[in-house]
Amino acid sequence: MGRRVLIALAVVLIAVGILVDSSLFIVDQTESALVLQFGQPRREVRTPGLWTKRPFVENVVFYDNRVLDYEPPPEEVIVSDQKRLVVDSYARYRIVNPLLFYQTVGTEEGVRARLAAIVNGSLRRVLGNVTLSDILSVKRAGIMIQIRDEVADEAKNFGITVVDVRLRRADLPEENSEAIYARMKSERQQQAAQYRGEGAEAAQTVRATAERERTVVLAEAQRDGQRVRGDGDAQAVKIYADAFGQDRQFFAFYRSLQAYRAALNGHDTSFVLSPDSSFFRFFNGLAGTASEATPPSPPAPSPPASH
């Protein structure tokens, strides 16, 4: 008897627990709740706390009332100056009317699909009226505000408020970027070739000027050298003439010694001369056998070798 009572009591407690669990729900401060009866909305609960509902008949759908993020896929748009851009954007929104939200889109996945179309259409309309330079300038903030207002105006029909819409990036398509990089590279190569040509021309001019100046300097140096050598030769002739005039016999002896040195400096020098030749007259004595004869005229001094 006691065991049956315990079993019955346990069954009753379990049933009461199930009934209580299906009758109570908790709304967090970051959430809003919508009570449904067989799929039809009955009431909204926006105040956090413990709430009741009809067990087994009503169910509760919770919605986050914080700011939610949505990142649509990148879209390719054409701006007013016919530039093609790949735009990467994001939107932030908040659910402010859970009943309207449930009736129009139902879930967050549903509202994201709607937002993708709205954001894409707004981007195409607004960016189609501006230029690429406007997007890259201080006008970008005003463009973002215009896009946000358009998206917010259309999205309010879904029970949400669009807080912000921003462009994360706005880049040229990959093929356009490659073409631009190739053109920039070609321009830089052309500019580099021009600079190299100008440098080669300047170098040629400098070399030609230096060569001309070198030729002039060498010519002037040779001219001055010839003049100096001529002056030296003239002075040497004068000195020789003065010396010859002072002592003809000594000068003849000195010139003969120079002739002997020049003629007999080799190891295999041979001469075929008569014994009484005037060339060896000073071998017979300091006065020479031909002292009475007139000594040969002194040869002109040979000019020094040019270097």
Residue 5: count other Cβ atoms within 10 Å of its Cβ: 9
Residue 80: its pLDDT value, please? 84
Residue 55: its pLDDT value, please? 83
Contacts of 127 (CB under 8 A, 6+ apart): 77, 79, 85, 87, 135, 143
Residue 203: its pLDDT value, please? 92
- Per the CB < 8 A criterion, the answer to whether 115 and 91 are in contact is yes
Helix, coil or strand: residue 172: coil
- Per the CB < 8 A criterion, the answer to whether 290 and 277 are in contact is no
Identity at 54, one-letter amino acid code: R
Q: Which residue has the tokens 């002039």?
A: 216
Phi first, then psi, for residue 37 (nearest 5°) are -125, 110
Contacts of 83 (CB under 8 A, 6+ apart): 131, 132, 172
Please tell me what DSSP assigns to residue 269: -
Residue 176: its pLDDT value, please? 61
- Per the CB < 8 A criterion, the answer to whether 70 and 90 are in contact is yes
Residue 14: its pLDDT value, please? 79
Contacts of 161 (CB under 8 A, 6+ apart): 93, 94, 96, 152, 155
Contacts of 233 (CB under 8 A, 6+ apart): 301, 303
Residue 256: its pLDDT value, please? 78
Got the DSSP string for 273-292? --TT-GGGGGGS-SS-TTTT
Q: Which two tokens stand for residue 162?
A: 């669009």
- Direct distance between the N- and C-terminal alpha carbons of the chain, in angstroms, rounded to an integer: 145
Residues paired with residue 84 on neighbouring β-strands, in sequence order:
78
pLDDT 10s per residue in the chain (307 long)? Answer: 567 777 777 777 777 677 776 788 888 888 889 888 888 888 888 888 888 888 878 888 899 989 999 888 888 888 888 888 888 888 999 999 999 999 999 888 888 889 989 999 898 898 888 888 888 788 888 888 999 999 999 999 999 999 998 888 877 766 666 667 777 888 888 889 899 999 999 999 999 999 999 999 999 999 999 999 998 988 888 887 777 777 777 777 777 777 777 777 766 667 676 766 676 676 666 555 444 444 444 444 444 444 3
Residue 241: its pLDDT value, please? 78
